[in-house]
Amino acid sequence: MHTDELIRVRQLLRHLSFQDKLYLLNDLTMQVISERTNNAVPPKREPLPTIHLPQWPDNLALRREDLYNDHSR
């Protein structure tokens, strides 16, 4: 996009309502985040951690309803 187009967009934005600006801000944030997700440089491949437990506990909370003690749902 050329500089003059950018300037026009900025001028246009000034005339928008607060709600419209918020809407566009959300839209822009979503687009930027999505681009970052798809184009992000992979992090350095560090070794996975190992935690030593002599025995695997059979009562480990591995579902959220157990973890949050949320059995009412």
Partner 1 sequence: MTIVAEPIFLDTNILVYASVDSSPFYTSARAQIDAYEDINTPIWISRQVIREFLATLVRPHLGIPITTITAAARQFEVRFRVAEESPLVTVQLLLLLEEGRSTQVHDTNSVATMQSVGIQHILTNNPDDFQAYAHLITIIPFSSNIVQP
Give me the residues that bind partner 1 (CB under 8 A), please. 26, 29-30, 33-34, 36-38, 40, 42-57, 60-65, 67-68, 70, 73
Least distance to partner 1 from the beta carbon of 34, Å?
4
Taking the complex as a whole, how short is the minimal distance between the CB of residue 19 and partner 1, in angstroms?
A: 14
Comparison of 6 and 65: residue with beta carbon closer to partner 1: 65
Question: Tokens in use for 59?
Answer: 């009562």
Name residues whose C-beta falls within 8 Å of residue 13's C-beta, 6 or more positions apart in sequence. 21, 24
What's the rounded Cα separation, in Å, for the pair 44 and 41?
Answer: 9
16 or 33: CB nearest partner 1: 33
Write the CB contacts of 26 (distance below 8 Å, at least 6 apart in sequence): none
Q: Closer CB to partner 1, residue 15 or residue 36?
A: 36
Count other C-beta atoms under 10 Å from residue 46's C-beta. 6
